Amino acid sequence: MAKAKKYRLAQIVERFGGEIIGDPRTPISQVATLENAARQHIGFLSHGKYRKQLAGTRAGAVILGRADSGLTQLPRIVCDDPYLYFAQVSALFNPPQAIKPGVHRTAVVERGTRIPASASIGAGAYVGRGVKLGKGVVIGAGCYLGDAVEIGAASRLHAHVTVYAGCRLGRRALVHSGAVIGADGFGIALDQDTWRKIPQAGGVLIGDDVEIGANTCIDRGALDDTVVEDGVKLDNLIQIGHNVRVGAHTAIAGCTGIAGSTRIGKHCMIGGAAAIVGHLDIADRVVIHAATVVTKSIRKAGTYGGHPAEDSRSWARHMALLHNMDSLRERLRSMEQRLSTREKKV
Quote the CA–CA distance of 63 and 74 in Å, as a whole number. 10
For residue 7, list its beta bridge partners.
28
Q: Are 234 and 210 in contact (CB under 8 A)?
A: yes
Minimum CB–partner distance for residue 14 and a second copy (Å): 18
Establish if 283 lies at the interface with a second copy (CB under 8 A): no
Q: Are 42 and 89 in contact (CB under 8 A)?
A: yes
Minimum CB–partner distance for residue 169 and a second copy (Å): 16
Establish if 135 lies at the interface with a second copy (CB under 8 A): no
Among residues 130, 184, 302, 303, which is the contact residue for a second copy, using CB under 8 A?
184
Among residues 72, 162, 226, 262, which is the contact residue for a second copy, using CB under 8 A?
162
| Residue 242 annotated to the active site | yes
Quote the CA–CA distance of 332 and 160 in Å, as a whole number. 61
Q: Are 208 and 215 in contact (CB under 8 A)?
A: no
Choice between 25 and 143, CB closer to a second copy:
143
For 232, half-sphere exposure in the C-beta direction (CA atoms, 13 angstrom radius) is: 28
Distance of CA 252 to the CA centre of its chain: 5
Establish if 39 lies at the interface with a second copy (CB under 8 A): no
Establish if 332 lies at the interface with a second copy (CB under 8 A): yes
Furthest C-alpha separation in the chain: 100
User: Which residues are within 8 A (CB) of 343 and not within 5 positions of it... i.e. 6 or more apart?
Assistant: none
Among residues 188, 296, 301, 313, which is the contact residue for a second copy, using CB under 8 A?
188
Quote the CA–CA distance of 305 and 228 in Å, as a whole number. 24
Determine the interface stretch with a second copy among 5-13, 21-29, 52-60, 249-257 (rule: CB under 8 A). 249-257
Write the binding mask 85 to 124 for a second copy: x where contact by CB under 8 A, - elsewhere: -xxx-xx-xx-x-------x-x-x-------------xxx
Minimum CB–partner distance for residue 9 and a second copy (Å): 19
Determine the interface stretch with a second copy among 65-73, 113-121, 130-138, 181-189 (rule: CB under 8 A). 181-189
Establish if 317 lies at the interface with a second copy (CB under 8 A): yes
Write the binding mask 16 to 35 for a second copy: x where contact by CB under 8 A, - elsewhere: --------------xxxx-x
Quote the CA–CA distance of 222 and 189 in Å, as a whole number. 12
Choice between 117 and 189, CB closer to a second copy:
189
Q: Are 311 and 302 in contact (CB under 8 A)?
A: yes
